[in-house]
Amino acid sequence: LYFSAQEGILIFYHIKDLQYEIKICADISQPISSLIFSPDYTSLLLVTDQGAVYSYRPAHSGEAVKLLDTSSSCFLAADFLTPGNNYCVSVTVSGEVQVWSLEDGTFLSKLNLGIEVHVI
């Protein structure tokens, strides 16, 4: 079970029977608005409401790596663009959909929906 504290700390609870273990996985120092697993569960996207997206690989137990920072106050959400784990899509409240490379955070393309978005 993964969850985030308000301070931007990613925490893992390993629960087995009536026992549990708590592990702090990463501290990104920004409130995390959503956690999204990749389709194959090898990567976890940590998304902040300030427009930053981090990648955390549970099997590697390393730090979260900042993939992109849209620095947008109207940033709404991000998710994996499937199939695969190579790209993510982000959306702003104003309806701009952006595609990013998860390998190096390169901006690839965008599409303006022309409507205000409330959820992705």
Percent of the chain, pLDDT > 70? 97
Domains and CATH numbers, the chain: 2-112 (2.130.10.10)
Among candidate residues 82, 85, 88, 81, the one with its CA nearest the CA of residue 59: 85
Classify strands 19-27 and 9-16 as parallel, antiparallel or unpaired: antiparallel
With a cut of 90, say whether residue 109 has pLDDT above it. Answer: yes
56 DSSP β-pair partners: 44
**Predicted local distance difference test score (pLDDT) of residue 111:** 93
Overall size of the chain counted in residues = 120
pLDDT digits (tens, 9 = 90+) for 4-47: 977 889 999 989 888 999 988 899 988 888 899 988 888 899 98
The mean pLDDT value for 60-83 works out to 79
